[in-house]
A and B are shown apart, each in its own frame.
Chain A
Amino acid sequence: MSTLRMIARLDVKAPNLIKGVHLEGLRKLGDPSGFAQRYYADGIDEIVYIDAVASLYERNTIVDLVRHTAEDVFIPITAGGGVRSVEGAQILLRAGADKIAINTAATQNPELIRKLAERFGSQCVVLSIEAKRQKDHWEAYCDNGRERTGLDVIEWSRRGEKLGAGEILLTSVDREGTRGGYDIELTRAVADAVGIPVIASGGMGKFEHLSEVVNVGHADAVAMAHVLHFQKMTIPDIRRQALAHGLNVRPV
C-alpha cells in the first residue's frame, strides 16, 4: 500500500468548526482555518473540510474558508458538502481545494461522479459515503446521516469506483463522534471490495483504534476529528506511535 495517510477532518458550519456525535448535536469550536493551520504545522498529511450546511453558493462560507486555508497550508485539501455540479466543484478547486467530496448529489445523480472524473480526473473525486449499520448490511445515508438512500454501501462503493471516483471517504454514522473506535468490519468490507483507496472516518479515540482499522480494517487512510479538535492526542504523538508499531507513515 501507499504510506498511510493521517487526515484531519473538519466539519464546518461557517464560520465555525463543529463537532457532534453521529454527525448530529453540533458543538461550535471556532475558526476552522486556525485548526487547519495548527494541524499543518504539526505535520498532518491532509485536511478535509465538510460543509454541514451545503453553503457553496452563499457568501462567506466554505469557499472563503478553503481560499483562506490554502494561503499558508501547503498540503492537500479536500472540500465537500453541497457540491451538485461540475461548476460547483470548479468553484472549490479554484479556491484552492485539491479534491472534491460528493455525497448527496451523487446518490441522487450518480452520473455526476463520471462527469467530475472526466473533467478533473479521478484523483480529484472523493465519494463520501455515510454508512449506517442495518440488520444484515450497511446502508448509505446522505444529508449528514439524516436521510436514507436505499443504497447498499458495498454496492454503492463499487459503483462509485466504476463511475470514476478516485477515493472513498467512508464515515460510520454509528461510530462518528463516539471515540469508541472505527467500524472495522465496515471499513474492511469496503476496502476489500474496491481497488481505490478508502479513508476510514468516525470513531477515533485512541491510538489502538487507528492501528486496528489499518491492520484489520485495511484502511488506506484514517480521518480524525474529535481527538484532534479537543486536543486529546497530538499529531506528532500519533505519528511516533504509528512508526513504533511498524505502520507505514511518513516520518516528519
Chain B
Amino acid sequence: MTAKATVIDYDCGNLLSVRRALEHCGGEVEITGEPAKIKDAERLVLPGVGSFGNAMEELQKLGLVEQIREFAASGRPFLGICVGMQLMFDSSDEFGMHDGLGMIPGRVRTVPRHGVDGKPHKVPHIGWSKLSPAAASQTWDGTILDGLPTPAYCYFVHSFAAEPADEAHRLSDCHYDGQRLAATVRRDNLWGCQFHPEKSGETGLHILRNFLARD
C-alpha cells in the first residue's frame, strides 16, 4: 500500500521540495489548504519557510488551526518541518510575541548570538550539522531517526529554535559552537525537525521514509 501524506498549503512553505522528496520516498502526496482534507489526512506534514507570526496568521486565515490541533489529537502521524516544527510549540518571540499551535509545551527563541565560549558567531545558523541524541540514555530505535548513518548530518537554516519545556520531547540536538539546539522533537505521534529533511540529501530522505512508514 502506498503511504499517503498530506502537505499543508498555507503559502508559507517550500511545498514543491517537500512534495518531491516525499514522492521520491514512495509517498503519495496531496498538497492542500482545505480544512476538510486536512482533517481526514492519513499523515500530515506542516512545512515552513518564513516567519512564525506570518505563518500562524496564514493558518488562521485559512481556518486550519483547529483542524491541525484535532488531527494531532487523533494519534495520526504529524511532521512539522523548520518553522512548521516551531509552530508546534506554545509561542515564539520572533518579531514580537506570537502564539503557536500548542501541540508540544515550550517556546521558540532566538538562536544565541554567541558560542558557549562567549565569542560571537553568525546568525542565522546555516549549514549541515550533526545530529546527536538529546540524552545519553536515548535511543533512536523505532523513531523517525531509526537506522540513520552515523554521524548523520542534516541541513539547518534558522535564526530561531524551539525549547521544549519537557526534556523528554527532545529526540536529537545539534550543537552550534557548543550551543545546544533542538534538532528533532517528538511527542507521541507528533514529530518535528528543525532541519530540512527534504534538503538533507540521503540522510533526510531516510528520515522521510521512516515518517511515511508510521501509521
Which residue numbers of A lie inside 8 Å of B, CB to CB? Answer: 1-5, 40, 43, 45, 67, 70-72, 74-76, 93-99, 118-124, 166-167, 195-197, 220-221, 250-251
Contacts and interface: CB of A to CB of B under 8 A. Distances in A.
Interface string B6-40: 00000000111100110010000000000000000
Given A74-B200, A98-B14, A123 B159 contact: yes
Given A67-B16, A70-B17, A98-B17, A5 B128 contact: yes
B62 interface: no
Contacts of A93: 14, 49
A36 to B, nearest CB: 13
Given A3-B127, A196-B124, A94 B200 contact: no
Given A3-B153, A74-B201, A75-B201, A220 B17 contact: no
Contact of B14 (A43, A96, A221): A96
Main secondary structure of the interface of B (DSSP, over half): mixed
A72 B17 contact: no
B186 interface: no
A70 B19 CA distance: 10
Given A195-B123, A220-B126, A75 B199 contact: yes
B20 A72 contact: yes
A124 B50 contact: yes
Given A2-B122, A45-B127, 17 more contacts: A1-B121, A2-B127, A3-B129, A45-B155, A74-B20, A74-B205, A75-B199, A94-B16, A98-B196, A119-B51, A120-B49, A121-B51, A121-B83, A123-B49, A167-B126, A250-B128, A251-B151
B184 to A, nearest CB: 17
A197 B122 contact: yes
Interface residues of B, number: 42
A5 B50 contact: no
A5 B157 CA distance: 12
Contacts of A221: 126-127
B155 A76 contact: yes
Contact of A196 (B20, B122, B156): B122
Contacts of B49: 93, 98, 120-121, 123-124
Interface string B144-188: 000000010101111100000000000000001100000000000
Nearest to A198: B122
B177 A1 contact: yes
Interface in B99-156: 113, 120-130, 151, 153, 155-156
A251 B20 CA distance: 25
A102 B81 CA distance: 25
Contacts of B60: none
Contacts of A71: 20
B79 to A, nearest CB: 16
Given A119-B50, A166-B159, A250-B128, A74 B123 contact: no
B153 A122 contact: no
Interface of B: 14-17, 20-21, 24, 49-51, 54, 83, 95, 113, 120-130, 151, 153, 155-159, 176-177, 196, 198-202, 204-205
B124 A166 contact: yes
Contact of A123 (B151, B158, B204): B158
A5 B196 CA distance: 16
Contact of B155 (A4, A67, A75, A122): A75
Lowest 4 A-B CB distances belong to which pairs? A2-B127, A250-B128, A96-B16, A250-B153
Contacts of B158: 123
Contacts of A220: 122, 126-127
Most chain B CB within 10 A, of A71, A76, A167, is at A76
Q: Counting chain A CB atoms within 10 Å of each CB, which of B24, B130, B155, B200 scores highest? A: B155
Contacts of B155: 45, 75-76
Contact of B50 (A72, A96, A121, A250): A121
B47 to A, nearest CB: 11
Nearest to B151: A251
A98 B199 contact: yes
